[in-house]
């Protein structure tokens, strides 16, 4: 009996981003120990795909569950193909602050910085 193996996915979360995620999760009331940050790629944005971050209480069947810099991440199989090797950072600039994604898989992006083409 053979079992299909899931492709691997590796995400990097910078120290700054990890601190912001942990701070945000600590402020959420009643999160169980199984909670984590869901990192997804969804259709949309001005370049075709955009990133989505959500706090969820537990992983779903088929998810990759990763630990990146002390943060539990949930990645679904569709998103995994676009997120392998991505670095999540938290940046502050004159335009504001927020999460930034460095994606080696992206073939193009737009000025907003939150959407990409693959």
pLDDT for res 106:
73
H or E stretch at 79: helix 77-83
pLDDT in tens, 44-99: 766 678 889 999 999 999 999 999 999 999 999 999 998 999 999 999 988 789 99
pLDDT in tens, 32-49: 999 999 999 988 766 678
* 105 confidence band (pLDDT: 50, 70, 90): confident
Q: How far apart are CA 93 and CA 85, in angstroms?
A: 24
In the three-class reduction of DSSP (H, G, I as helix; E, B as strand; rest coil), residue 102 is classed as strand
pLDDT for res 6:
57
Prediction pTM value: 0.83
Q: How far apart are CA 64 and CA 79, in angstroms?
A: 10
Pairing state between β 64-68 and 71-75: antiparallel
CATH architecture, domain 12-107: Sandwich (2.60)
Integer angstrom CA distances of residue 77 from 12, 44, 82, 83, 114:
17, 18, 10, 10, 20
Please tell me the total number of residues recorded for the chain in this structure: 118
């Amino acid at each position: 009996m053979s079992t299909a193996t899931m492709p691997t996915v590796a995400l990097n979360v910078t120290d700054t981003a990890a601190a912001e995620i942990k701070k945000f999760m600590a402020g959420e009331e009643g999160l169980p120990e199984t909670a984590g940050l869901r990192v997804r790629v969804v259709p949309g944005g001005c370049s075709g795909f955009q990133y989505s971050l959500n706090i969820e209480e537990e992983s779903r069947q088929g998810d990759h569950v990763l630990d990146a810099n002390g943060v539990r991440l949930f990645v679904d199989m569709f998103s995994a193909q676009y997120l392998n090797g991505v670095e999540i950072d938290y940046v502050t600039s004159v335009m504001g602050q927020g999460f930034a994604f460095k994606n080696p898989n992206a073939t193009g992006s737009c000025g907003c910085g939150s959407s990409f083409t693959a």
